[in-house]
Structure 1
Amino acid sequence: MTGEVADMAGAMITTPATAADWLVIAPVIIPLIFGALLLMFRHEMRWHGIAALVGLAALMGAEVALFARVLEHGPVSMTMGSWLPPFGISFTVDLLGATFALTSGSIAFVCAVFTLRDIGVTGRRYGFYPFMMLMMAGVSGAFLTGDIFNLYVWFEVFVISSFGLLILGSEKAQIDGASKYAILNLVATTLFLIATAYLYGIFGTLNMADIVRKADGVRGGAPLMTLATLYLLAFGMKAAAFPVNFWLPASYHTPRIVVAALFGGLLTKIGIYALLRTLVMLFPVERAALADLIGWVAVATMILGVLGALAQSDTRRIFGFLVTSGVGVMLAGLSLGTETGISGAIFYAIHSMLIMTALYLLAGMMKERGGSFSLHELSGLYRNSPFLAAIALVLAAAVAGLPPASGLWPKVMLVKAAMDASAWWLAGAILLSGFLTTITLGRVFLLAFWRDHAGGHETRGTALPLLGYAALVALTVPIVVLGLFPEPVIRIANMAAAGLLHSSGYVGAVFAAGGGS
């Protein structure tokens, strides 16, 4: 063999990656770098908030560029380690992943603005900002990976970092909430890992595009229904779907309000994203067989979630149950499985990321102005802060699905899809959940804002109140804009749904010459 040169072109990528290809992994690399820098400069805590803002602004910029590239050119892929797919680990981004990543990065930036007034020296000393950056690396990685084992890895990254954020402060309620959060997520993670090992045993690959290519060939002789059911259970727990949803309202009311806002806006949507990716793209036949089960789970999650909210008096618990109820609405689109249904679920997920983050930040501002999270103690906030009351009214309309806010259109899409599929019971559940949500938030508004406070009102402010209002406005404006001008988002959601249902573009991006884009 002396003098012979092995031809590696059939096994390895021989062409260098272009600068544009690095956009695929930039949303993961950027928060990891900034998280490491924050740890290195742990003695300069006064600069941590500003450094995190810079890092998240860079993250947003990379996600905007990636979204624009995917929108123009279709799915893009980058495979690590020079090995051709499916042997190399691929990051593959379609419009669904790019849209969710951009929305999550934007929300994280807004929350970072809020933290400048909410996270003091103690929170910084215990690593709030490194945890936040690590969590965003995990969130971005989950949306962008093209390998199902790496989806598990990125789940672990954001779960570990979110656990650190949850217990920041070490109060008794936080430890109690973190215990429930950790135990149920451990069970879900174990099921996820078992299902992934089972999947590898069946397919011999963990590359999602490769699984799509092989699924039809093994369907007759492999227990794919068992595999799909395991993923439904694992990701259903992550998304807080009934009957494995009780951990969320038991834990999301315990951390700092900005942490609850991040969790409520982002973490359950990763479970929904994973369900869409696995059941719609990888196992569409099995999803169709499970459609009725998913539909009834959606109904139970919707209705029981909003009934739980009606029974609460703590605003944080109310919003936690509403997060759960919204998960049911998204599951309704998964159950229907049509392009309109999946598109409605995607649009609703974008809306839910914005609105649930805004609601938790609103709860923080209400507590600041009224001194409590309890509806038994809050009152007279309309006189105290008319501007905050106006924001609360808009957000209440958005959650309930009323005009002129963003919640109306995805519910219209889902109700139409349900009626087209003759699933009248599912359409009725969506409308009923919206009606009950209107009552729930009407109760919050009447008691906290409209009710007179006989004893006068003592304002409890912070040194930077304008930052709180700025963060709320930054979320409220797109919520209203999406309600008034929904066509661009509907078009993007339709394209993302079509990409899931017809995944040839996704597969082609992974197995293109050189494994690149």
Structure 2
Amino acid sequence: MSELYDFLVPLVPYMVPLPVILPAVAAALTLVLSKYLTAQRIVTLTVLFFLIGLNATMLYLVDREGIQTLQMGGWDAPIGVTLVADRLSVSMLTVSSIVLFSVMMYAISQGIRDGGKDEPVAVFLPTYLLLSMGVNLAFLAGDLFNLYVGFEVLLVASYVLLTLGASPARVRSGVGYVMVSMASSMVFLFGLAMVYASVGTLNMAHIGLRMEDVPSGTRSAIFAVLLVAFGIKAAVFPLDSWLPDAYPTAPSLVTAVFAGLLTKVGVYAIIRARSIIFTDGSLDTMLMWVALATMLIGILGAMAQNDIKRLLSFTLVSHIGYMIFGVSLGSAHGLSGAIFYAIHHILVQTSLFLVVGLIERQAGSSSLRRLGSLAYISPALAILYFIPAINLGGIPPFSGFLGKIMLIEAGADDGGWMAWVLIAGAVLTSLLTLYTMVIVWSKAFWRDRKDAPDGATVLARPAPLADIQDEVSVKDRGDVGRMPFGMALSTTILVGASLAVSVLAGPLSSITGRAAESAQDVNIYRTAVLGPNYLDPSRTLEMERYDANRDDISHRVDSNNVSSSDPEEVAP
């Protein structure tokens, strides 16, 4: 075992770009193989399965060896493109690769279609791989510009996936989603311009170093602009209204991967910005209020829904608030709880949306007004819903309970009155989430179907593909009551992975704790990215902390180019 470890350690820098390169190459290959569906599926599943092993290996090695960086194109940081693999980024990569593989199994098992016969199946696989590439690039990016590029790859791929089938409902929601995402991207670009104008760099470690000497008001304004951009993608209140309208109209498998991953990319960006760049905590109080409002308003919206997809979309928004809660505390303990809860929520929320797809296959609808008797019709389906539902509700000893306990302990350690308000809000949200999950159980699974208000009718196709008036009897829909084995198996894998988080909560919380500590200690991250000499006292320009010539960036760049032959004299 030690020999294998010694063999793998030197290879870690070469592993870092593979989560970005492999999906991109596979997307091109599957596009070439568009006429050979079986070959497309083999390539896609092979690459996604390989990424699980690759990311898990990187997580083990990074946890043992520390942060690994790769300077792309032969240019050293902060000038070149830097990919950073630390415990936080690789933890997110590992759990996202599990989700991406499981959802792809689910898609292939249901024929990728969601009830329609004319959907562009050939473009689904390459688009899905591009989505994977965008997610992985966002997690590994060491600079804000490539984080922006990762977001844009996500936007392009997600719009295609969201509108598969081109039904009017999907196109309407897709257009709204794209408009909101484009607005977020424009705000992000504006934030990038402000950052570069203030500090003359986009490398996150370098920004954090130079941002210490930017006036506090300017620093807070820049952070606020970036928070708006990231908050839209994370769907935090009051920037969350787009999500409950966009996600429920998509196919269940697309909604599942969106719910599990895309909002967490926004949360990840907020964590990076708060822990590496804007370390003074000037907006922590505002983040606390945002976390509280997101938790409570999201779960109150969920309680008012009759469709399970919309209900889960609101719970998704609500539980993003728990992660913002941990970030807003500004402590390693709080950040560790936020990372742990993000890992738990990715697996549990994705599982629940996949279960909704199985419900639509089994009963022909996801409306609580039409459902009933599912526990009798399909006990296996009832179990697949029940486990992640009570996990999301925070019943001990599941990971949802453990993650909430970590956050509550971090809030108690903070001791401020606002932290105690957040603790109360988190407990109330957990109770209301459990109540909402029980309502779904009692109506869809436990109640007799004939007692449902509209139990005699179902949709001819799954809700996203049908108009609200399109109701026909079960016998007119061929796939009702048929639940393919592969769909159930992939859902079971994700439910099992969420249970594994509970069983392995001790080792996993240790990793998230170390991830939070290394993220909070900016010197660790800066040393890994910028090199051990970035605080060398002999570097006169750095000792001046970018203060003397802040208004003459072009002159500074010219001066650096003249002395670039001596790396000790080049300003970071």
Question: Which interval holds the TM-score relative to the shorter structure?
Answer: over 0.9
> Map of 1:332-481 to 2, 5 A cutoff?
332-422=325-415, 423-454=419-450, 460-461=479-480, 465-481=484-500
2:196 pairs with one of 200, 208, 212: 200
How many Å separate the matches in 2 of 1:478 and 1:400? 17
Shift of 1:505: 2.2
- Indicate whether 1:159 and 2:188 are aligned: no
CA contact (8 A) 1:265 1:354 kept: yes
1:69-120 Cα offsets, whole Å, 9 max, x none, are 2111110101111112111111111110010011111100000110112204
- Find 2:245's aligned residue among 243, 250, 264: 250
Which of 199-208 and 30-39 deviates more?
199-208
| 2:373–2:447 contact (8 Å) kept in structure 1 | yes
Is 1:106 the counterpart of 2:101? The answer is no
Aligned mate of 1:503, from 511, 522, 545: 522
Letter in 2 for 1:474: I
Q: Is the 8 A contact 2:362 2:481 kept in 1?
A: no
Structure 1 pair 402–463 and aligned structure 2 pair: CA distance change class (3 A):
closer
State the Cα distance separating 1:463 from its structure 2 match. Answer: 6.8
- 207-216 vs 430-439, greater mean Cα deviation: 207-216
- Looking at structure 2, the residues matched to 18 and 481 of structure 1 have their Cα atoms a distance apart, in angstroms, of 30
Does the CA contact (< 8 Å) of 1:84 and 1:514 recur in 2? Answer: no
Supply the AA of the counterpart residue of 1:141. L
State the shift of 1:125 in Å.
3.6
SS at match of 2:248: coil
Within the candidate set 279, 283, 299, 1:284 is matched to: 279
Matching of residue 131 in structure 1 with residue 150 in structure 2 = no
Q: Indicate whether 1:326 and 2:319 are aligned.
A: yes
Whole-angstrom CA distance in 1 between matches of 2:10 and 2:502: 39
Tell me the equivalent position of 1:227.
Answer: 222
Given that residues 209 and 277 in structure 2 are in contact (C-alpha distance below 8 angstroms), is that contact kept between their aligned partners in structure 1? no
Deviations 1:392-434 (A, max 9, x none): 1111111111123210111001111112223211000000000
CA contact 1:177–1:250 (8 Å) conserved in 2: yes
Which whole-Å CA distance do the structure 2 matches of 1:61 and 1:461 have between them? 36
Contact 2:188 2:225 in 1 (8 A): yes
Q: Indicate conservation of the 8 Å contact 1:117/1:462, yes or no.
A: no
Give the drift of 1:126. Answer: 4.9
**Secondary structure in 2 matching 1:68:** helix
Q: Do 2:361 and 2:483's aligned partners in 1 also have CA atoms closer than 8 Å?
A: no
Q: List per-residue Cα deviations over 1:347-387 (Å, max 9, x = no partner).
A: 11001100110010010111111111100001000001112
The count of residues paired between Structure 1 and Structure 2 equals 496
In structure 2, distance between residues paired with 1:268 and 1:309:
17
Q: Report the Cα distance in structure 2 between the residues aligned to 1:195 and 1:32, rounded to whole angstroms.
A: 28
Deviates more, 1:447-456 or 1:436-445: 447-456
Q: Residue 48 of structure 1 contacts residue 124 of structure 1 at CA under 8 Å; is this kept in 2?
A: no
- What secondary structure, in the 3-state scheme, does the structure 1 residue paired with 2:73 have? helix
Report the Cα distance in structure 1 between the residues aligned to 2:208 and 2:356, rounded to whole angstroms: 44
Q: Hey, what's the Cα distance between the residues in 2 that align with 1:468 and 1:444?
A: 21
Corresponding residue of 2:87:
95
TM-aligned CA distance change 1:413 to 1:461, over 3 Å: same
Give the corresponding residue for 1:185: 181
Say if 1:262 and 1:384 are closer, same or farther in 2 by CA, change over 3 A.
same
Give the match for residue 42 of structure 2. Answer: 50
Counterpart of 1:37 in structure 2: which amino acid? Answer: L
Matched, 1:492 2:488: no
After alignment, is 75-84 or 461-470 more displaced?
A: 461-470
Post-superposition offset of 1:19: 4.2
8 Å CA contact retained: 1:32, 1:134: yes
Amino acid at match of 1:185: S
**Alpha-carbon distance in 1 for matches of 2:532, 2:344:** 37
Aligned AA for 1:313? N
1:269 matched residue in structure 2 = 264
Are the counterparts in 1 of residues 363 and 481 from structure 2 also a CA contact under 8 Å? no
Per the alignment, in what secondary structure is the counterpart of residue 405 of structure 2?
Answer: helix
Task: Indicate the residue corresponding to 1:483 in structure 2.
Answer: 502
1:67 matched to 2:62? The reply is no
Work out which of the two has the higher radius of gyration on C-alpha atoms and give 1 or 2. Answer: 2
Match of 1:314 in 2: 307
The DSSP-based 3-state class of the residue aligned with 2:69 is: strand
3-state SS in 1 of match to 2:399: coil
TM-score, normalization by structure 1: 0.92
1:115 aligns with 2:134: no
Aligned partner of 2:566 in structure 1 is none
Distance in 1 separating the partners of 2:138 and 2:252? 24
Q: Corresponding residue for 2:207?
A: 211
Deviation at 1:26, TM superposition (A): 0.4
Distance 1:197 1:148 in 2: 11
RMSD: 2.0
Taking only the aligned residue pairs, the percentage that are identical comes to 34
Q: Please state how far the C-alpha of 1:221 moved relative to its aligned partner.
A: 7.3
Q: Which moved more, 1:111-120 or 1:135-144?
A: 111-120
Take 1:258 and 1:172, find their aligned partners in 2: how far apart are those partners? 19
CA distance in 1, matches of 2:323, 2:254: 23
Distance 2:118 2:51 in 1: 26
Which whole-Å CA distance do the structure 1 matches of 2:490 and 2:50 have between them?
A: 18
SS in 2 for 1:69: helix
Deviation at 1:440, TM superposition (A): 0.7
Task: Please name the residue that 1:82 is paired with.
Answer: 74
Query: Which deviates further from its counterpart, 116-125 or 476-485?
Result: 116-125
- C-alpha displacement at 1:48, in angstroms? 2.1
Cα 1:462–1:38, aligned 2, differ >3 Å: closer, same or farther? farther
Distance 1:348 1:284, change over 3 A: same
**C-alpha separation in 1, matches of 2:403 and 2:226:** 25
Quick one: distance in 2 between partners of 1:196 and 1:361?
37
Query: SS of the counterpart of 2:83?
Result: strand
Quick one: distance in 2 between partners of 1:70 and 1:328? 29
Cα 1:340–1:514, aligned 2, differ >3 Å: closer, same or farther?
A: closer
Residue correspondence of structure 1 range 139-150 to structure 2 within 5 A = 139-150=135-146
Question: Structure 1 CA distance, aligned partners of 2:71 and 2:197?
Answer: 22
3-state DSSP of counterpart to 2:334: helix
**In structure 2, how many angstroms separate the alpha carbons of the residues matched to 1:514 and 1:372?**
61
- In the aligned structure 2, how far is the partner of 1:469 from the partner of 1:307? 30
Superposition deviation, residue 41 in structure 1: 1.0
Please report the TM-score for the alignment, with normalisation by the length of structure 2: 0.84
